[in-house]
Amino acid sequence: MIEKIKQTADYIRSKAGNVPETAIILGTGLGALVDHITEKKYIPYTEIPNFPVSTVEGHSGNLIFGRLGNRQVIAMQGRFHYYEGYDMKEVTFPVRVMKQLGVKTLFVSNAAGGMNKEFRVGDIMIITDHINLFPENPLRGKNYEELGPRFPAMTEAYDKRLVAAAEEIAAKKGIRVMKGVYVGTQGPTFETPAEYEYFRIIGGDAVGMSTVPEVIVANHAGMKVFGVSVITDLGGKDVTDVPTHEEVQKAAEAAQPYMMEIMRELIEREG
Ligand code: HPA
């Protein structure tokens, strides 16, 4: 695994030159951030040795290097989901490579279903913590000390200073933001009403099918993480809404400009 990580990082360095310290995983809702990246260089995933290849509709696969405001960034356009059939090592491989490239801070975004009764469709939720309900932990198996400790703490999986900074930016811009706990599940089913209820009772505010594996590996590697969800649907005992992929995409697109505003300034300031 170490050899593969190094090989992939060497390839990327040979294509991209200087690699920045800030990385972004552009999930649903943040795709348009790409339009704000200037001096762009694309590396399709298909050309990167050892990289899995993205399969899902609406997720194109490229590594993008460029400038976001005053910052050099590396962005993943398209991520690998567990529900697509990748194993946890594949899902998190790009984060391993980022670390090898010298990335210090990771920004992630996703679409999620809201269980918190205060939430509305289109809300932006700053992730303050997560509950890992994936059937497997990406760190299962042999630990490589050079990548991180055997038993890493997850006490501040989402950097508190970045959370506070994002809140401040949102307040300044007059954008409504919520904060909450993200429950990560394997999908690809959306939840039954009882499952949404269960996730709320155990302390979740929103649920989705990504992010948690990458955030675990980023923390293992000593990276700082900031995560944000767009609430694209609501679930619970009394909710009659039937979520669809189209509805999720549409709600995420509607919230995108706000999410982008926050992310852009946060990355410029703190990235
Ligand atoms: N559940 C799980 N994943 C999701 C949801 C949801 O309701 N909405 C967007 N991604």
Count Cβ atoms below 10 Å from residue 251 Cβ, excluding itself.
Answer: 21
**Contact at 8 Å (CB) between 58 and 142?**
no
CA 16–ligand 1 middle distance (angstroms):
34
- Token look-up 């399969």 returns 55
Pairing of strands 224-234, 124-132: antiparallel
- For the chain, what are the domain ranges? 2-270
Q: What value does the mean pLDDT of the chain take?
A: 92
Residue 24 CA to residue 22 CA, distance in Å, equals 7
pLDDT of the residue at 102: 94
> Quick one: 2-270 is in which CATH superfamily?
Nucleoside phosphorylase domain (3.40.50.1580)
Torsion (CA) 62, 163, 89, 14 in degrees, nearest 10:
40
Three-class secondary structure of residue 271 per DSSP: coil
**How would residue 127 be classed by pLDDT, with cut points 50, 70 and 90?**
very high
Question: Which residues lie below 8 Å from residue 53, measured CB to CB, with a gap of 6+?
Answer: 45, 46, 61
Q: Which of 207, 240, 246 to mutate to test the pocket of ligand 1 (most atoms within 8 A of CB)?
A: 207
CA 107–ligand 1 middle distance (angstroms):
20
CA 183–ligand 1 middle distance (angstroms):
10
- Residue 138 is encoded by which pair of tokens? 């990406």
Q: Which residue has the higher pLDDT, 253 or 112?
A: 112
Q: Is the CB of 9 under 6 A from ligand 1?
A: no
**How would residue 48 be classed by pLDDT, with cut points 50, 70 and 90?**
very high
- Token look-up 């979520």 returns 243
Predicted TM-score (pTM) of this structure: 0.94
**How would residue 76 be classed by pLDDT, with cut points 50, 70 and 90?**
very high
**How would residue 240 be classed by pLDDT, with cut points 50, 70 and 90?**
confident
The mean pLDDT value for 202-222 works out to 98
CA 56–ligand 1 middle distance (angstroms):
15
Of 21, 199, 206, nearest in space to 126 by CA = 206
**How would residue 11 be classed by pLDDT, with cut points 50, 70 and 90?**
very high
